[in-house]
């Protein structure tokens, strides 16, 4: 059974059935797509992550061709830069946590304005380190599922600081990501990004950079090594690449990241 696609025109009037499992249990996945001149950016990577997520969570079948056409159609309607959020719920029903074997997935598509990240991309950001530690759960690591309570708590923690963002470590004191972006860092002249096999979200911009730039490798980064980092940036599908100009009060150079921005056009 293929999924029903629900186009949401006004999020202020959004009504979701009480039995929707994404609402009840966070039983769903989502992705946030940048739209430029009517074209969804990095859509093949968004699609690949959604397909992987649906497979790993054993969710109902999706008509991926139909979903792609719906995304392309909705993107083409935007006259200026914007955002499409795409959320897949396992659907309705099931007793308690156990899903119904006969449920049909629900797909929600709605528009949002593009945030203005120009200052961050050009001038860099100031980051600190979050006190909250991410839970380690390999079965969910990398997936952008709809249970994001850790990120809600992290944003509340961030709001109490003067930083632009916070770096987040897992229970083993290994840096994983920022509050809503992936992390790249330079150490001894080489560029790395933390692996995401234990926690974190495998962002599409992160994957795009790894695909296009052979010099980037995965490497763990412990909290104890932060004072050795030579340069750093964060990235996601909407932000692109933003240099870190200050790490826990320590100045970092912008030039290495700015050079990469020119090469990657991010």
Nearest Cα residue to 219 out of 198, 195, 187: 195
Annotated catalytic residue 9: no
> How far is 5 from 72, CA to CA, in rounded Å?
13
**Could you tell me which residues come within 8 angstroms of residue 90 by beta carbon, excluding any fewer than 6 positions away?**
21, 22, 27, 28, 57, 59, 60, 99, 103, 105
Cα-flanking dihedrals φ and ψ of residue 81, to 5°?
A: -60, 140
Residue 103 vs residues 9, 54, 58, 93, 248: alpha-carbon distances, Å: 25, 14, 12, 7, 48
Annotated catalytic residue 160: no
Give the pairing of strands 165-170 and 182-187: unpaired
> How far is 90 from 174, CA to CA, in rounded Å?
32
Annotated catalytic residue 155: no
**199, 170 Cβ separation under 8 angstroms:** yes
Helix axes of 64-76 and 43-56: crossing angle, nearest 10 degrees:
140
Catalytic residue among 31, 177, 179, 193: 177
Catalytic residue among 144, 146, 176, 179: 144
Nearest Cα residue to 117 out of 180, 177, 169: 180
> How far is 131 from 134, CA to CA, in rounded Å?
10
Catalytic residue among 32, 176, 179, 193: 32
H or E stretch at 122 = helix 118-123
What residues act catalytically?
A: 32, 144, 177
């Amino acid at each position: 059974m293929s999924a029903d696609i629900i186009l949401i025109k006004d999020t202020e009037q959004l009504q979701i059935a009480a039995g929707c499992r994404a609402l009840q249990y966070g039983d769903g996945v989502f992705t946030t797509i940048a739209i430029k001149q009517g074209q969804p950016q990095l859509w093949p990577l968004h699609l690949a992550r959604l397909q992987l997520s649906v497979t790993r969570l054993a969710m109902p079948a999706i008509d991926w061709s139909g979903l792609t056409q719906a995304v392309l159609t909705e993107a083409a309607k935007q006259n200026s830069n914007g955002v499409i959020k795409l959320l897949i719920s396992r659907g309705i029903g099931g007793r308690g946590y156990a899903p119904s074997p006969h449920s049909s997935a629900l797909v929600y598509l709605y528009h949002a304005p593009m945030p203005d990240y120009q200052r961050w991309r050009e001038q860099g950001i100031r980051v600190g380190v979050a006190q909250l530690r991410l839970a380690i759960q390999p079965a969910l690591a990398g997936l952008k599922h709809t249970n994001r309570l850790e990120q809600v708590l992290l944003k509340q923690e961030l709001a109490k600081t003067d930083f632009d963002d916070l770096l987040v470590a897992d229970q083993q004191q290994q840096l994983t990501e920022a509050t809503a972006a992936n992390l790249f860092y330079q150490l001894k002249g080489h560029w790395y990004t933390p692996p995401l096999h234990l926690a974190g979200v495998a962002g599409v911009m992160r994957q795009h950079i790894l695909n296009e730039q052979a010099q980037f490798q995965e490497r763990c980064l412990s909290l104890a090594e932060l004072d050795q980092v030579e340069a750093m940036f964060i990235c996601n599908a909407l932000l692109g690449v933003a240099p870190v100009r200050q790490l826990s009060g320590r100045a970092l150079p912008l030039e290495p990241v700015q050079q990469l921005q020119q090469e990657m056009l991010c």
